[in-house]
Structure 1
Amino acid sequence: MYLPQDPTKTHDAAARISAVILLALLSLATVEGKRSCPTNYLQVPAISCRKHTALITDFGGVGDGVTSNTQAFRRAIEHLSSLAADGGAQLTVPPGKWLTGSFNLTSHFTLFVHKDAKILGSQVENESEWPQVALLPSYGVGRDAPGGRYSSLIFGTNLTDVVITGNNGTIDGQGAYWWDKFHKGELNLTRPYLIEIMYSDQIQISDLTLVNSPSWFVHPIYSKNVIIQGLTILAPIDSPNTDGIDPDSCSNTRIEDCFIVSGDDCIAVKSGWDQYGIKFGMPTEDLVIKRLTCISPDSAGVALGSEMSGGIRNVRIENFTGINTQSAVRIKTARGRGGFVKDIFVRGMYLSTMKYVFWMTGNYKSHPDDKFDPAALPEITNINYRDVVAENVTYSARLEGISGDPFTNICISNVKIGLTATPKKLQWNCTDVEGFSSDVVPPPCAPLAKAGKSGGCDFPEDQLPIERVQLKTCFVQNPTVV
């Protein structure tokens, strides 16, 4: 028999049940909150989180700045590589000074450098610390010497899913040793880079301070899906070839929020050298550079080339700040390079104390050897600059194409250039170039005087695939907390 219930009691029972459920949910949320924000863990944004973790000290590492840790790093990574299929592994470098020679990374792996840790590059030039590696096929020869080259301090090839990061930990290449040998002509092999990743996919290099590389700092090459962000890169402004970041024959690359002081180009976009790069034929394409600050009195903020023989296309540069830098975004090429630089879009440059705002060079004569083909002419076209403010400038522009092979479809719009107290009389020096301009002060040269598009030069509004990649929040145990 159905007996009607007191609606008041029914309501009270429901309220009690709801309260119990609410308290349970609140308790669970508290537990989850504690789980997601533990006090002895650091939050790390990364493309992948790792199931397993270890310290370099677990493999005999000694952080006294004197003991070599080369074998400790190699042992650690060899051991952790076996965990790649089981959620991957992370190697943490705790506070201390960790002297080491070159070591190779592995797939599904994170190298985490604590903010109070400093990895120091070895200054012992021998095979055990700096193994020799093969010449790059798109370069054909070594850059410092015709023979081979030393492995980079941190090196990897044929990898997938690699993260090199930290909460502003430091990697110091101790480059003065190498710079001295370079100046004295004592090198038989090309100097090591600080970080080089080859033939790889899904790479992240972030949140580190990199100082005093023997040569280039960060060199992703023949790779795709690369994120580089939050780097502070520092080298003396007279140090040789200390490029900050060199994306080289890479696709789908994102570089953002970096501060670079360099003896060479802050960012140098490359794709191989003359006949070797033409034969290899791998362009750098789909590259975005955002929020870069550069100081380099003798070089460019962003250079496109000079080694661009595999081609460079679809590069987007936005919110660039140049201070006491020779030039902003510079194109460097020559007869014999072949290849192309096209579909380049630059928006939002803020420049102070510059020799040149715009600089393109079609006579950059550095060649790997005498076997290049002078009939291999580069194609330079669809180069767009807009929304530029500059002050204390010596030359507005030096634009030098190639006779019989002009640089075409150059667009410059919404530019205000303030000159130094003693500017050069000829502000726009233009040869073998063609293009458009609008709202540019001082007025551009005749080859660019034709009115540009309504609304200014092009800048794509779509996002590249790499820009849509969202980093996960991972947790790293703080080695300073017991």
Structure 2
Amino acid sequence: MKKRVAIALVVIASAFRLAPESRPELPKVATTKFRRDTLPISRFGAVADGLTPNTTALIRAIDQCSKAGGGVVLVPRGLWLTGPITLKNNVNLHLAKGALLQFTSQRDAYPLVATTWEGEEAIRNQAPISGVDLENIAITGEGILDGAGDAWRMVKKSKLTSDQWKKLVASGGVVNDKQDTWYPSAQSLKGASMSIKGGQDKAYYEAIKDFLRPNMFSLTRCKRILLEGVTFQNSPAWCLHPLLCQDITLRNVTVKNPWYAQNGDGLDLESCKNGLVENCLFDVGDDGICIKSGRDEQGRKRGVPTENIIVRNCKVYHAHGGFVIGSEMSGGVKNLFVSNCTFMGTDVGLRFKTARGRGGVVENIFIDGIDMTDIAGEAILFDMYYAAKDPVPQHGESNELPEIPAQPLSAGTPQFRSFEIRNVTCKGAETGIMIRGLPEMAVRDILIENAVLQSRKGLICIEAERIKLKNVALITPAKTVMQIQNSRNLTFDTIRYNDGADLLMHISGDRSNTIKLLNTDKAKAKKVVETTAGVPTNALTIG
């Protein structure tokens, strides 16, 4: 297995083609190793009838395997019902082909525990499968783990057809006063208007227990983790959530959630170090592959970035974003290497999001070889105004920003800088590239090279600095190909676009300056540049 990881690192290194003196050190991911001793859960009384709770049998098998020095706990073919289980050191939970480990939909089987919610401390129900302070653990095989998420999730009416909504309401549960969201119980509805953060007494959380839905797979402060071959599906909230973990390998894993699943992320690596995610498939209700590091003051106080992560050869179908950083990135993110991934039907392709108050620095992000089709929003998005809502506006809504004044720099000011994005193809998007920084903190040092982006709008660049597009095709029917606002030190080198565009570049804002347009056929546009009042007369240089 060490040989396989070494080969992966060589392939990634060659893919990015960085000069040796500028190439960051690629991560070395320590791997798992297990004894061959195998304990079938049937030996501990487990019954594959879909009716018998097998929680005790699974716990006993995992515990005995770990105490004996580790090995394999085997879940054979069949339908195995269980409550929440906890992993132990040196145990490989192996699901045979045809095995379905079905977590119970009985919410009272999941006790309340101290954990986190979207990067902050919180009280929630125990995850169906979890582990804390463990080493050398794995879930492998060709089987399926089902988190019974339907028993927990609220559903927005806008996500369903009329018939689907009527069927859901008739199945039980309750609907809120606005008649636009269904909840599985009155207790769940009550919790929607209350805080889930820590600090309240036990009775407070017991009264809204149904609302405190868990992540499906939760690991905290664990080392040497392997997920390989299995399918995780139907999570109550986030599906895979390693927190403060080190040396994580995901290989040939499938993650599936309904497309309407609220907070139904696929993978959230939070404050983790050294990871390899390869040949995985995601089809989920929120972000697909997501990098996080804590939220706001708590995240900054923790101060642990997610770093040294390789993502390659992955596919993302429905998701709010294909590859995502944020918005909870307050501890920082650095040294990520993403290559040869395909996004099909995601709301956004490459999605980098944050907001005032987060703080944190995201830097040294290297992306090479992304293919996308049918992207509902932006193919490439840098957004420092994340508003915690769906990235694609509902009918009649707008995502346009009002004029927003600058604020003083503080610990809560986030930063996006030092991204290299190469070899990107997108067939169908609302916007090819959107870069939207803050007046007090521009998005900085972004290179986008060798890209073909077919979209309704081309480039929108607001509050950005030291941005370079080289050999980029913005294939758009929009009258204006590129819109620049309050941005400086921009270089557009070898830009291709449709014949007959009304305007190649619109520049606005009195802070727009030092913009270069190089090696580009200006004759294809009816007009090359248009500026608004306040833009310096020499803001654009054409070469």
Question: What is the CA-CA distance between 1:449 and the residue it aligns to?
Answer: 4.3
Give the corresponding residue for 1:109: 91
Per-residue CA deviation, residues 192-224 of structure 1 (Å, 9 max, x unaligned), is 222111101110011011211111111111010
> Structure 1 residues 389, 121: closer, same or farther in 2, change over 3 A?
same
Instruction: Give the alignment partner of residue 279 of structure 2, picking from 247, 253, 257.
Output: 257
Which deviates the most, 436-445 or 393-402? 436-445
* Partner of residue 389, structure 1: 425
- Deviation, structure 1 residue 366: 4.7
TM superposition shift of 1:138: 8.8
In structure 2, what is the Cα distance between the partners aligned to 1:246 and 1:395? 26
- Equivalent position of 2:66 in the other structure: 81
The runs of at least 4 aligned residues of structure 1 exceeding 3 Å deviation read 136-142, 180-183, 443-449
1:323 aligned partner:
344
1:451 shift after superposition: 5.0
- Corresponding residue SS for 1:386: strand
Is residue 295–residue 330 contact of structure 2 (8 Å, CA) maintained in 1?
Answer: yes
Corresponding residue of 2:202: none
Partner of 2:137: 162
Counterpart position of 2:32: 47
Q: Quick check: 2:107–2:151 contact (8 Å CA) kept in 1?
A: no
In the alignment, what sits opposite 2:73? 91
Instruction: From the superposition, tell whether residues 241 and 183 of structure 1 become closer, same or farther in structure 2 (CA, over 3 Å).
Output: farther
Contact map agreement 2:114 2:121 (CA 8 A) in 1 = no
Partners of 1:114 and 1:340 lie apart in 2 by: 42
Where does structure 1 lack aligned partners over 5 or more consecutive residues? 1-45, 143-147, 368-372, 454-482
Q: Aligned partners of 2:97 and 2:299: how far apart in 1?
A: 39
TM-score (norm 1): 0.76
- In structure 1, the residue matched to 2:110 is 130
* Deviation at residue 178 of structure 1 after TM alignment: 0.9
Paired AA for residue 126 in structure 2: S
Tell me the equivalent position of 1:62: 47
CA shift digits 1:250-295 (9 cap, x unpaired): 0001101011111101111110011110111111000110011111
Q: Does structure 1 conserve the Cα–Cα contact (< 8 Å) formed by 2:453 and 2:473?
A: yes
Identical residues among aligned pairs (%): 30
2: CA distance, partners of 1:341 / 1:102: 35
Q: 1:52 to 1:267 in 2, by over 3 A?
A: same
Match of 1:234 in 2: 256
2-structure distance, mates of 1:116, 1:106: 24
Shift of 1:445: 4.8
The question of 1:139 aligning with 2:175 is answered: no
Contact 1:137 1:276 (C-alpha < 8 Å) held by counterparts: no
C-alpha distance in 2, partners of 1:352/1:264? 18
- Map residues 375-386 of structure 1 onto 2, 5 A cutoff: 376-386=412-422
Q: 1:439 aligns with which of 467, 471, 480?
A: 471
* CA-to-aligned-CA distance 1:36-70 (integer Å, 9 cap, x gap): xxxxxxxxxx8313142111111111111111111
Aligned residues of 2:436 and 2:463 also touching (Cα < 8 A):
yes
Asked if the contact 1:199/1:221 (under 8 Å) is kept, the reply is yes
Once structures 1 and 2 are overlaid, which stretch shifts more, 51-60 or 280-289?
51-60
Match of residue 310, structure 2, among 281, 285, 288? 288
Q: 2:107, 2:119 → 1: CA distance? A: 24
1:334, distance to aligned residue in structure 2 (A): 0.7
**Inter-partner Cα distance in structure 1 for 2:387 and 2:371:** 30
Q: 1:52–1:83: 8 Å Cα contact kept in structure 2?
A: no
> Do the aligned residues in 2 keep the contact of 1:411 with 1:452 (CA within 8 Å)?
no
Match of 2:447 in 1: 411
Take 1:130 and 1:155, find their aligned partners in 2: how far apart are those partners? 12
* Closer/same/farther in 2, CA of residues 53 and 321 from structure 1, 3 Å limit: same
Give how far 1:377 is off: 0.4
Q: Identify the match of residue 103 of structure 2 among 121, 131, 144.
A: 121
Distance 1:363 1:179 in 2: 27
Partner of 2:321: 300
Is the contact made by 1:335 and 1:374 (CA closer than 8 Å) also made in structure 2?
no
Asked whether the equivalents of residues 138 and 279 of structure 1 are also in contact (C-alpha less than 8 Å), the reply is no
* Counterpart code for 1:191: R
Structure 2 gaps of 5+ residues are: 1-30, 155-172, 174-180, 192-207, 390-408, 475-480, 495-543
Partner of 2:501: none
Q: Distance in 2 between matches of 1:264 and 1:183?
A: 18
Q: Tell me the SS of whatever aligns to 1:393.
A: coil
SS for the counterpart of 1:213 is coil
Q: Distance in 2 between matches of 1:381 and 1:387?
A: 19
Instruction: Say whether the 8 Å CA contact 2:34–2:90 is kept in structure 1.
Output: no
Superposition deviation, residue 452 in structure 1: 6.9
Q: CA deviation at 1:94?
A: 0.4
Deviation at 1:78, TM superposition (A): 1.9
What SS class does the counterpart of residue 318 from structure 1 fall into?
A: strand
Q: Report the equivalent of 2:14.
A: none
SS in 1 for 2:39: strand
Deviation at 1:135, TM superposition (A): 2.6
2:460 corresponds to which residue?
429
Q: Contact conserved, 1:93 with 1:112, CA < 8 A, in 2? A: yes
Matched ranges for 1:346-365 at <5 A: 346-354=367-375, 355-365=377-387
Across the two proteins, how many residue pairs are aligned to each other? 386
Structure 1 segment 173-212 matched on structure 2, within 5 A: 173-180=147-154, 183-184=182-183, 185-186=188-189, 187=191, 188-189=208-209, 190-212=212-234
Does structure 2 conserve the Cα–Cα contact (< 8 Å) formed by 1:65 and 1:98?
yes
One-letter code aligned to 2:448: I
**Contact 1:50–1:110 (CA under 8 A) maintained in structure 2:** no
**How far apart, CA to CA, are the structure 2 residues paired with 1:65 and 1:230?**
27
Structure 2 letter corresponding to 1:171: L
Alpha-carbon offset, residue 402 of structure 1: 1.2
Name the CA shift for 1:254/1:444 in 2 (closer, same or farther; >3 Å). Answer: farther
Shift in Å at residue 418 of structure 1?
Answer: 2.1
Q: Deviations over 1:127-154 (max 9, x none)?
A: xx21222133993343xxxxx1112111
Deviations 1:318-365 (A, max 9, x none): 011011111111111011101111111110011111121111111124
- SS of 2:491's equivalent in the other structure is coil
Measure, in 1, the Cα distance between the counterparts of 2:412 and 2:182. Answer: 32
Alpha-carbon separation, structure 1, partners of 2:42 and 2:386: 48
Q: Say whether residues 1:271 and 2:305 are aligned partners.
A: no
Distance (whole Å) between structure 1 residues aligned to residue 49 and residue 460 of structure 2: 55
Task: Tell whether 2:182 aligns with 1:150.
Answer: no
